[in-house]
Amino acid sequence: MNKGVWGLMLIILLPAVVFGQVNNAKINPTFEQVLSLKNPGAVQISPDGKHVLYSVSSSEWAENRYDSELWLSKNGGKPLPLTHNSDGSSSSGVWSDDGKWILFTRNQDRDNTLFVISPEGGEAFPLSYIDKSIGSFELSPNGKTLAFLAQQEEPEEKKTMEERYGEFAEDDTDFLLSRLFTVDFDPEFARTHQRPCDQDSTYTMCPEAPEVTAHMDSVNFTITGIAWSPAGDRIAINHQPDPIITSFLEADISLYDPAGKELTQVVSNPSADAFIEWSPDGSQFIYTSDVANDSSNFYTNSRYFIYDLESGESEEVADNFDENLNIAGWTEKGIYATAWQKTRRPVLLLDPTSGEVNTFSEMKRMTYGLSFTRDGAEYAMIARDGNELNEVYLADMIETRIDRLTDFNDQLSGWNITKSEVVSWESRDGATIEGVLHKPHDYDPDKKYPLLVAIHGGPTGISVPSPVPAYVYPIVQWVNKGALVLQPNYRGSAGYGAEFRALNVRNLGVGDAWDVLSGVDHLIEEGIVDSTKLGTMGWSQGGYISAFLTTWSNRFKAASVGAGISNWMTYYVNTDIHPFTRQYLKATPWSDKEIYERTSPMTYINNASTPTLIQHGEFDRRVPTPNAYELLQGLEDVGVDAKLIIYKGFGHGITKPKERLAATWHNWMWFNKYIWGEEIEMPVD
C-alpha cells in the first residue's frame, strides 16, 4: 500500500489529425480517436462464477470529462451496459454475497452516493437513508450490514472562525478525518422510499428508515480502508494519523468489533503497515509492512506478513520474491497476485504455509485485474498481450477454459498502430537497461529514422509494449510519420527488482541520463537512427529526466518537459511529498547542498541549447509550478528557445480530454518544428 503513493507520482501514458492513409486501406488515427479509446477496469466476478461485472472508461467530449460506467456479462454472454450517469461516473461496483444485488457509487454534485441495482435488470436506486458522501464501503458476508467510510462533519468552531476572520489554514492542519459508519442494508426500503417519507404524499404513515451508526467518532486517526472478516464479526481497519499524503508512513492495522464497539490494535510497526486480505476461514490475514524502514520505502520492495489471530504472531512470507506484489485474493489454494517481471505481468501464487511465490499463469503477457469466486474455482481478469488493448476474460483455475468477454480491440480496426518490441542495451556503468521500441509497419532496417524518446514517470513506473501509447504524446502519429519512438525503462523502474530500483539513489538525473543516452547510442550503432534528429519528452519523473537532458546534453534537437523537476531545492521546499527527495538524495538541501546541485537540471543551465517546451498543471502540488518557471527563465536567459504552457485548473496530471488534446497538439507542433522543420498551427474548427 505504501508504494501506492506512486500512483500519484506516475502519470499513465494513455491518448492524439487524419493525416491520410498509410499502408493500403489503414488510416493514421486522429488525436481525438486515440483519446477516445474505451478501456475496461475494476473487474468483479459474481459469487457463483456465472457473471462478470466491470467498469468502462470513456471520453465525454461535450462535458469535457472522463466517464466510468458499469457493464455486465451474464453467463459468458455479450456484455451490456448496467449504468449510465450523465452527470458523473458510476464506479466501485461490487456484488452482494448472495449475488442478488450490485452496489456502486455514483458521483452527484461532488458527493458519492451509494446506489443499488439488480443484475436481472431495472433501474438503479440510491440508498437514500444514508445522508453522507460515501468513501470506501463493504457489505458484510451475510449481506445485512453495510460498513462505509465518510468524512467527519466540519467543526462548528471552524465555521464561526471563518465568519469572523475569513478563510485561512495552518499548513498540514486543514483536513477532515474519515470515520467508520454502519447501517442495515435494506434495498427494498431504499427502492420504495427514494426520498424522505415526509416529502412523499403516497404514505400516510412514515416507516422508519434504517439508522446510520457512527463508530469510533472520537479517535485521533483517519481510516483509510476497511474489510469485514469472513464470519462478519469484526472489521479490519487501516488507519493513519491524518489524510496528509506522507502520513502513510505512520499507518497501522486494527481490528474492530462493531457489535461490542471494541477496537484492538494488532499491527503497529514504526513505519507503514497495511491490511490486504483475510484468509478464507478468517483465522489469519496478510498485510504489507515497511517495519522500521522510513528512509528507503519509496523504492525498496514491500515486505509481506501473515498475522495469526490466535497467537497474535506475524510470519514473513514472499521474502524470496524480488518485486512488489499486487495481491488480489486468498482462496483455499493460496494467495493470488500479479507483479511486474520486467515487461511481463503474470498471475502468481503465494503459498501461505511455505511463503514461496511461484508463477501460476502466463496465459497473457500482462494481467492487471483479478477477481475470484469464494471457492477459487473460477476467476475473471483484465489482461492483454503487447499488441492488444486490455480485454475482460473469464477462466477456470485448471485453465481448461478462458473466454474473452469483450471486444475493445475492435476499436483499432483499420488503424495503423505501432509495432512494439523490447530491446536492451548496456548503460555507461554496465547496468543492463531495457526499453520498448515502437516501429512503423513499413519499417526498413536499412533506413535511418528520427528517434523520439518518451520517458515514463515514477521513477518506479514502467513502459511496456502497446499498440497505441500516448497520454499527451502522439506516439502513433509520429511512428506513422516515419519515426522510431523509444520508451526506456531507466534505472529505478518497476519490474527489475529492488537493486535495480535503487540504482538512481544519490544518482538521479545523472544515472537516468546515462541510461537514455546509451539507449540512443545503441540504436545509432544499429544503423537505424538519424543522429541529427533526436527528441526527448516525458511527464513527472520523465519530465525531470528530459529537463536534465535539456541542460546536461546537447544531443537533442527538441525536448518537452511535462510537470518536471528543474531544481531539487526548489522542489523540496514546495512539494507535498518531502520524504521522496530525502530518500533518493539521502540528504536535505541544508545537510548536503552538493548532491542537490549535482542532480538538478538548473546547475547545467549555461550549457543548454535544446529548444524546450514546458507543460505544467496550474495547481500541481506534486511538482509545483516554480520548477517550470525556473527552467523557463534559465533557458531564456541563455538564449534557448523555450515555451511554457500552463494548463489551468489541473494538478499533477491533465485529467480532461480537451486539455489533453491541446497538450498533444502542443507536443506535435513543437517536435514537428524542430525535428522535421514543419510549422503547424492548431486547428480552430
- Give the model confidence (pLDDT) of 441-469 as tens digits: 999 999 999 999 999 999 999 999 999 99
In this prediction, residues 310-324 reach a mean pLDDT of: 97
Q: Got the DSSP string for 41-104? A: EEEEE-TTSSEEEEEEEEEETTTTEEEEEEEEEETT---EE----TTS-EEEEEE-TTSS-EEE
Q: Are 143 and 131 in contact (CB under 8 A)?
A: no
Write out pLDDT tens, residues 23-49: 457 999 999 999 999 999 999 999 999
Tell me the C-alpha distance between 564 and 541, whole Å: 6
Q: Are 25 and 414 in contact (CB under 8 A)?
A: yes
Tell me the C-alpha distance between 275 and 284, whole Å: 11
Write out pLDDT tens, residues 367-420: 999 999 988 889 999 999 989 999 999 998 876 788 999 999 999 999 999 999
b/e 6-45 (16+ beta carbons within 10 angstroms → b): bebbbbebbbbbeeeebeeebbbbbbbbbbbbebbebbbb
- For residue 3, the model assigns a pLDDT of 45
Cis peptide before 459 (omega within 30 of 0): yes
- For residue 455, the model assigns a pLDDT of 98
Tell me the C-alpha distance between 497 and 489, whole Å: 12
Judge whether 377 lies within some domain: yes
- For residue 8, the model assigns a pLDDT of 36
- For residue 1, the model assigns a pLDDT of 40
pLDDT category at 588 given cuts 50, 70, 90 is: very high
Judge whether 683 lies within some domain: no
Residue 186: CA atoms inside 13 Å, Cβ hemisphere, count? 17
- For residue 641, the model assigns a pLDDT of 98
Range of the structural domain that residue 400 is part of: 321-414
Helix (H) or strand (E) holding 237: strand 235-240
Q: Which residue among 414, 445, 469 closes a domain?
A: 414
Give the C-alpha distances (Å, rounded to integers) separating 459 from 3, 246, 489, 492.
12, 17, 9, 6
Do 451 and 421 belong together in one domain?
A: yes
Judge whether 385 lies within some domain: yes
- For residue 20, the model assigns a pLDDT of 41
Q: Which residue among 414, 429, 462 closes a domain?
A: 414
- For residue 19, the model assigns a pLDDT of 40
Do 364 and 472 belong together in one domain?
A: no
Do 383 and 443 belong together in one domain?
A: no
Judge whether 578 lies within some domain: yes
Judge whether 541 lies within some domain: yes
**Pairing assessment for the beta strands 125-126 and 111-117 based on DSSP bridges:** antiparallel
Do 620 and 550 belong together in one domain?
A: yes
pLDDT category at 111 given cuts 50, 70, 90 is: confident
Judge whether 327 lies within some domain: yes
Which residues lie below 8 Å from residue 227, measured CB to CB, with a gap of 6+? Answer: 138, 235, 236, 275, 277, 278
Write out pLDDT tens, residues 186-220: 998 888 876 656 555 555 556 788 999 999 988 99
In this prediction, residues 304-324 reach a mean pLDDT of: 97
CATH number reported for the structural domain that contains residue 436 in this entry: 3.40.50.1820
Residue appearing with cell numbers 537514455: 516
Do 443 and 336 belong together in one domain?
A: no
Do 457 and 384 belong together in one domain?
A: no
Lowest mean pLDDT among 208-212, 252-256, 540-544, 577-581: 208-212
649: left (phi over 0), alpha (psi -120 to 50) or beta: left
pLDDT reading at 608 higher than 80? yes
Do 470 and 407 belong together in one domain?
A: no
Name the pTM for this structure.
0.93
Judge whether 303 lies within some domain: no
In this prediction, residues 657-665 reach a mean pLDDT of: 98
Report angle CA 130, 135, 136 to the nearest 5 degrees. Answer: 105
In this prediction, residues 600-617 reach a mean pLDDT of: 98
Do 425 and 362 belong together in one domain?
A: no
Write out pLDDT tens, residues 251-305: 999 999 999 999 999 999 999 999 999 999 999 999 999 999 999 999 999 999 9
Q: How many structural domains does the chain have?
A: 2
pLDDT reading at 102 higher than 80? yes
Do 576 and 606 belong together in one domain?
A: yes
Do 330 and 460 belong together in one domain?
A: no
Helix (H) or strand (E) holding 330: strand 326-331
- Residues of the chain with pLDDT > 70: what percent? 94
Average of per-residue pLDDT values in the chain: 92
Tell me the C-alpha distance between 395 and 376, whole Å: 11
Count of CB atoms situated within 10 Å of the CB of 540: 27
Do 391 and 357 belong together in one domain?
A: yes
Judge whether 261 lies within some domain: no
Sign of CA dihedral 261, 98, 73, 328: positive
Q: Give a three-class secondary structure readout of 176-219.
A: CCEEEEEEECCHHHHHHCCCCHHHCCCCCCCCCCCCCEEECCCC
Write out pLDDT tens, residues 319-377: 999 999 999 999 999 999 999 999 999 999 999 999 999 999 898 999 999 999 988 88
Name the E strands within 540-573.
558-562
- For residue 162, the model assigns a pLDDT of 85
Do 587 and 474 belong together in one domain?
A: yes
End-to-end alpha-carbon separation of the chain, Å? 45
User: Among 374, 376, 373, which Cα is nearest to 349's?
Assistant: 376
Q: Which residue among 374, 391, 414 closes a domain?
A: 414
194 or 428, greater pLDDT: 428
Write out pLDDT tens, residues 482-494: 999 999 999 999 9
Which residues lie below 8 Å from residue 278, measured CB to CB, with a gap of 6+? Answer: 227, 229, 230, 236, 284, 285, 330
